[in-house]
Amino acid sequence: MSGENLVLIGFALLPLALAGAVFAFFRRTDGAPSVGRLVAGNLLILLLLVSLALPIGEVYFRYFYDATESFGFSKVGNRWYQTYFKKNVSGYRDSLEEYRMHLSAGRPRVTFVGDSFTTGQGVPDVEHRFVNRIRALRGHWEVHAIADNGWHTGVELEELETITGQGYQLDEVVLVYCLNDAADLVPEWQESVEWVMENRRETWLVAKSYLINTYYYRWMAARNPRIASYYDFMLEAYSGAIWEAQRERLLALMSFATERGAKLRVVTFPFLNLMGGGEYEYAWVHDTLGTFWREHGVPHLDLLGIFASSDPGDLVVNPYDAHPNERAHEMAARAIAAFLEAESDARRRPASVAH
C-alpha cells in the first residue's frame, strides 16, 4: 500500500478512534465531573472536531483541488504540471503538434520567446494563453512559443542559438519580457534559491499528505524571509553592474535576431500581483526598459497600461500563484495582436518621398 493511501486511511481512522475515546471517557464519568475531567473531556471533543477536518481536507486536496503555486514545490502543483503541461514534438508546451523548421512562403512567422508567462503557467487549457489566442485571432500567422518555466534572458538566448543551429528559421521574434528575467544575475537571489532548496524539510507526512504538503509550502512561502524578499531582489536587477550585465544580454539577443534577418519585438509584463491599491513600485523599471528599447530602435509594448486599472485578484491565477490567469491572457492577446499588426502595417507602408 502506498504512503499516500496510508495517510488517507490514518486520517479517516483518527476521528473514529477519538470518538471512541470520548464515548469511553464520558461513560466512566459518574455524577458531577471535576474541573480537571471537564477540561480533559472538552479537549477530547475539540480534538475530535479538529480530526474530522483531516480526512475531508486530504480528500479535497488529493482529488478535487486543482491549482498551482508560484514556486512549483507542492504536490498539488506538481500534479497540475503533469496533467496540463503537455509538450509537443518540438519540446514546447502547445496544442500544435510540431513546429515547422522552415518558413512558409507568404505566411508570417511570429516566434514568442519567454518563460512561464509565455507557457501559460496556471492556465489548464493551453488554448486560453495569449500565444494560442493570438494564433486564433490571426489565422494567417504562423505562431510558435519557444518558452519554458524558469527561463531567464540568458537561457532564452541559448535556446534560440540551439534551435536556429538545428535549422529553425526566424521571421518575427517577440521577446516576452518579465521583470524577473534578470534574477539569475542577482547574487542574493541565487543564494536564496540555494538556501530554500537545501533547507526544505519534507518529513514523511509532508511528502505523503496532500493536505499537510499544501499548507507546509504555503507556510514556507509566507514565513520564509528569502521568499518574501523575492520582489525586493528584483529591484536590484535594474541599476548598477547587474543592469549593465542584463543590458549586454538584451543587446546580444537583439544582435542575434538582426544577424539572422529577423525583426525583434518586445512585450513587457508587469508584476500583476503588485498592482492596484497604491503606487506600483516597479514603474521606474518599466520606464528604464522602455528607454532602453527606444534607444535601440526596437518596437516595445509595455502591458503595464493595459492592466493598470484592473484589480490584481482579477488578473492572477490564485492568491498563491502570481502568474496571469485566463482573463489576463485574453487582455494581453488583444493588445499584443494589435501591436504586432500595427508594426507589420508600418513595415509595409512605403516611405514618403521628399520633394
What's the pLDDT at 354?
A: 40
What strand order describes the sheet that includes 142-147?
Answer: 142-147, 109-114, 172-178, 263-269, 300-302
Res. 159 pLDDT band, cuts 50 70 90: very high
User: Which of residues 125 and 69 earns the better pLDDT score?
Assistant: 125
Separation CA 164–CA 99 (nearest Å): 13
Q: Which of 284, 272, 282, 275 is nearest to 232 (CA)?
A: 282
What's the pLDDT at 319?
A: 92
Q: Given the DSSP bridges, would you call strands 316-318 and 109-114 parallel, antiparallel or unpaired?
A: unpaired
Res. 29 pLDDT band, cuts 50 70 90: low
Positions of E strands within the chain: 109-114, 142-147, 172-178, 263-269, 300-302, 316-318, 321-324
CATH (one of 3.40.50.1110, 3.40.50.1970, 3.20.20.70, 3.40.50.2300) for 75-188+223-348: 3.40.50.1110
Q: Compute the average pLDDT of residues 82-99.
A: 97
Separation CA 134–CA 336 (nearest Å): 8
Separation CA 82–CA 78 (nearest Å): 6
Q: Is the pLDDT of residue 288 over 90?
A: yes
User: pLDDT digits over 183-232, tens only?
Assistant: 999 887 777 667 666 767 789 999 999 999 999 888 877 776 666 667 77
**Which range among 34-38, 42-46, 148-152, 207-211 shows the weakest confidence by mean pLDDT?**
34-38
Write the DSSP symbol of residue 322. Answer: E
The set of cell numbers assigned to 236 is 536590484
Q: Is the pLDDT of residue 142 over 80?
A: yes
> CB under 8 Å to 110, separation ≥6 — which residues?
134, 141, 142, 143, 144, 171, 172, 174, 340
User: pLDDT digits over 246-279, tens only?
Assistant: 999 999 999 999 999 999 999 999 999 998 767 8
Yes or no: say if 122 and 151 are a contact pair by the CB < 8 Å rule. no
What's the pLDDT at 22?
A: 79
Q: Is the pLDDT of residue 5 over 80?
A: yes
User: Which of residues 60 and 188 earns the better pLDDT score?
Assistant: 60
The set of cell numbers assigned to 270 is 508587469
What's the pLDDT at 352?
A: 44
What's the pLDDT at 353?
A: 40
Yes or no: say if 127 and 154 are a contact pair by the CB < 8 Å rule. no
